[in-house]
A = this chain, B = another copy of it.
Amino acid sequence: MKKLINKPEDVVKEALAGMAVAHPDLIRVDIEQQIIIRKDAPIQGKVGVISGGGSGHEPMHGGFVGAGMLDAACPGAVFTSPVPDQMLAATKAVNGGVGVLHIVKNYTGDVLNFEMAAELADAEGIKVESVVTNDDVAVQDSLYTAGRRGVGVTVLLEKIVGGLAETKAPLEQVAELARKVNKQGRSMGMALTPCTVPAAGKPTFELGEDEMEIGIGIHGEPGRRRVKLASAAEITEMLATPIIEDLGLKAGDQVLAFVNGMGGTPLIELYIVFDALQRILNGKNIAIARSLVGNYITSLEMAGCSITLLRLDEELFRYWDAPVHTPALRWGR
């Protein structure tokens, strides 16, 4: 196992300590409880927006904490759900008196623990709404999931919903927009290589030298099929077609096109995939109105990519374009 780490059991806490010193202008970090909090939280009269999940997907979610996106994130151990106490502490830390939104990717552990955290928060008088993302068209049910998995749309949703929450919109409206974004976006991913969880010390699965896995999950869960290596154009077609069909995209639609790296793929390759994707969309007269290219929801050092398409409308444009100031996404005033 070749990794820049010290002891496997210290990976998450040391990374959090590094984040705290790297971004003191944006966030504060409770290393003991494993919570990353927006520096100026809680903000009175603003809905708190939090998310969380296993570590190993950086920058998601901790890198998305800051003005205009998340108020807090609670990372678990690598590829392991955070615990309800941690989620409750994050909920309390960002409670500005008007409720808190929980953004939950559809993995059984995350869903159960966030449900318990919401009940605990309710018992303490904090109103919580939960939205579960399930945008992965690859498979129905999976290793850690009943139903579709939550993947790339989560990144876009956290940005857009964070933009609305910043306007001090009420909790119901923030939750409603979150459900809408989840409904208007779909994703699919693939892997060229596996990844190694530090505590395990060996790859989560194996892939032959001439093989790739289409429809892979972000923890290496099995996808649709294992096939021979193909060109970037062919791979992009295999990912984009099911997304376009499932979303029912048609000529004249405007989308946000998101090409995401799994962690070990160089940026130059992601732009090649983006080029292949724009050719496909162009051919169908679907307009790329916004884009995101880079490593945003990763699987440690896995080589591969995922594609997410999000159908845009006026409301989504407005909150996607709104200012954001986080370690990993930053624009606007």
A binding-site residues for B, Cβ under 8 Å: 2-6, 11-12, 14-19, 21-23, 55-56, 58-59, 63, 78, 192-193, 209, 212, 229, 231-233, 235, 257, 263-276, 278, 288, 291, 293, 295, 298, 300-301, 303-305, 325, 327, 330-333
Contact = CB atoms under 8 A, between A and B. Distances in A.
Nearest to A262: B266
B274 A18 contact: yes
B273 A295 contact: no
Nearest to A190: B4
Given A274-B22, A291-B21, A231 B5 contact: yes
Q: Which of A3, A23, A209 has the most CB of B within 10 A?
A: A3
B271 A18 contact: yes
Contact of A232 (B6, B16, B21, B305): B6
A4 B295 contact: no
A300 B268 contact: yes
Given A2-B193, A192-B3, A267-B298, A275 B14 contact: yes
Contacts of A330: 330-331
11 contacts: A2-B193, A18-B272, A18-B278, A22-B291, A23-B291, A56-B268, A58-B266, A263-B267, A264-B303, A267-B295, A330-B330
